[in-house]
A and B are shown apart, each in its own frame.
Chain A
Amino acid sequence: MSQTRKFMYINRHAPYGTVYALEGLEVVLIGAAFEQDVCMAFIGDGVFQLKQGQDTTDSGMKNFSPAYRALGDYEVNRLYVERESLEERGLTEADLMPLTWEDEEDDWAEKPSIQLVSRAQLSGLLEEQDVIFNF
């Protein structure tokens, strides 16, 4: 019997310019099938992955931002966004996609997946993890 471990996926790169963001998201969605305790952290340019209003129609790239909305269905419902990273980039929580998940134990109530955390809080969350993946 395997035991549940705490996984954190750290996202540090902007989407589109490099393949880190897309590859990282795919690994999270694949890994979600293994029923571990999964969360994601967005720091540095990684916060740009969650920017609302991405539209690649004029640039010929694949817009993979809608795939973040599927995370809640895979029980990946804790997306920690570092507040300092948002502020350095002139962004606020209102600039991010409104990602939600449905809580089975609370009559399927829709709850927000994104949580803003300070750098100090994130440091503590890192210490709690059994496995950390960095993209």
Chain B
Amino acid sequence: MSADIAIGKSTWADEMEEDEGLLAPVVTTNRDGTKTVVSYRIDPDTQKKIKVTQKIREVVVKERVNAAVAERKSWAKYGREKDCPPGPNLITTSVGENMLFRLALKSKVREEDEEKAEAKKVVKDKKITCRICGGEHFTSKCPYKDALGPADATAAEAEASRQGSPAPAAGGSYVPPHLRNGGSAAAGGSGAPSENPDESPALRISNLSEEANEQDLRELFGGFGPLERVHVVKDRETGRPRGFAFVTFMSRMSAERAKKVMDGHGFDNLIMSVDFAKR
């Protein structure tokens, strides 16, 4: 008898330890047949105690099933599931996010697409030139992106060739201060190291998963040295990440190290490509 008490005590103490001092859930049966469950838990982020009140109505649904199906439900598990308790195994079976699935005629979808295309046309009228091939599209959408290499290399070339000819007359596009007066920063002249793009500690991460956010990148790249700025480029219209980001380090050294390690590194389901950002 005394042994029983001792065991009871020890389990009670264990429970208290496991629950970290939380009160046990209280279940009360209401007059209308529902149950109210009051339980407590600690929020892992804020470490605050949270009281959860749930009102539960139990509904018994009777369903007729095929006898063979009912028999199969009682079969013992085997293989990798051997000796597992009945019910879905959390390792293999999980419930995904709720998603909107509505059947609808595609013509409606097409109309929306057309509207988007219209919007694109309007943008097109604003004279877009690709930095890679000079065509009328965004640089990121350039069909020759892979063939002609990164925009920046070609842009630098174009810059160099432009230096040969007289500077563009007034009415041309904006020329940043360090390139005015035939500035030679891009051609590798005597610019200050901070202005020289070849010395900039900024990395451009492309082929990045859409799920990656700033925090993920800080965790990924923070190990190589102090970070100055992390910027995930997002689509202006949809707000979804566009699949690339910029990470600026405090020093060129750590940027180089990060590039060496992280180029070709997998994140989510994609393999990132990391290169120095050029302006």
A, B: real partners: no
Interface set of A (CB-CB < 8 Å, partner B): none
